[in-house]
Amino acid sequence: MTDHHAALFRPLAIRSLELPNRIVMSAMTRSASPAGVPGPEVARYYRRRAAGGTGLIITEGVAVDHPAAVDNPRVPRMYGEAALAGWRTVVDEVHAAGGRIVPQLWHVGPLWGAMGAVDPAITPMRPSGRWGTVGTTSYPDDYVARAARLTRPMTEDDIAEVVAAFADAAVNAAELGFDGIALHGGHGYLLDSFLWPDTNIRDDRWGGDPLARSRFPARVVEAVRGAVGDELPIFFRFSQHKQQDYTARIAETPDELQVILGSLTDAGVDVFDASIRRFDLPAFEGSDLSLAGWARKLTGAHAMAVGSVGLGTSLRDSRIEGAAEVVDNIGEVERRIQTGEFDLIAIGRMHLADPALATTLRTGSPLTPFDRAVHEGNLY
């Protein structure tokens, strides 16, 4: 076997997590867990990617135990006897195939109701009661009209309950044998909604300048770190863009981003999962550094890039423009890892098309030709 893309196949240790390579399967919602319980099909799905050589699997978003955490009954939960038993099988299957797996803990926050009908008696969790100013979004007008109505801001009791729910979910994950914890802090969901000044206009300790806006997500990180101890790494997904507005930003300058990410680093984050629609887009004017590159430069923590790896355009854009193609941009990924811009590359849709993607890259075999049904496909 001839090894291609050697930089991608260097090992990496992060606390107790030892990775054989830098290839990560990115979190992708599958909606294949009826009543929130991952079944044998889910276990087979993750095991196939582990057996294919992927260094680390980050699961789809997993609901914490809070009434407004996730609005789709087919999204898996990290609580309840049946769901935890299902996850134990997933973890055991991945480990048996030689893989490592981390759950992405999730609370949708302001985006409650985007994935399905919801109980009107449940109040969405929003820092200031705001859904967010509507900008460039793919959500339908009828949902936006409903969601844009103001709700009550989160109370101190709400905040305490959500923090506890994340910590409890992390404990459950650790006890099941997961190899780390990932937190979804991007895309306009709950943790991110505190970082975004458009949805966080609070005038108490949880709102204000970038440092104050970072206090709630940092508190969640602190609680998770305290709950799981020092061995397991904590991943934190963040983004500039939001589902409410793809042009939104949490930081206008590197200095502002440093304040936010520095607070999260101090709280216990080990790896920043920098979500952007193309992994190589410059994050700020005057520099070619990607968002992941800035995260690593500003904090010294590990950084993971994601976005359109192997694709000529993001799938969101391709749905609008009516075209997409597979592009071998793996060499650019490798170059940026080699220069130390970021440490890991998370790949989503290409893992759906090719469960053995890591082996494909190692051997230099061709990438799977684009097929929307496969690259956006259901669980298999």
- C-alpha closest to that of 359 among 369, 368, 349: 368
| Residue 337: per-residue pLDDT | 97
Task: Domains for the chain: give ranges and CATH numbers.
Answer: 6-375 (3.20.20.70)
In terms of residues, how long is the chain? 380
* Three-class SS state of 149: coil
* Residue 313 predicted with pLDDT over 70: no
- The token duo for 153 is 């801001």
- C-alpha closest to that of 373 among 357, 358, 353, 359: 353
* Residue 88 predicted with pLDDT over 50: yes
CB atoms within 10 A of CB 80: 15
- Specify whether the CB–CB gap between 185 and 238 falls below 8 A: yes
Report the DSSP pairing between strands 56-63 and 23-25: parallel
- Per residue in 117-163, pLDDT (tens digit) is 899 999 999 999 999 999 999 999 999 999 999 999 999 999 999 99
* Residue 319 predicted with pLDDT over 50: no
Catalytic residue IDs: 189
pLDDT bucket at 371, cuts 50 / 70 / 90: confident
Output the furthest CA–CA distance in the chain (Å, rounded).
Answer: 60
- The token duo for 239 is 């983004």
- Per residue in 193-228, pLDDT (tens digit) is 999 999 999 999 999 999 999 999 999 999 999 999
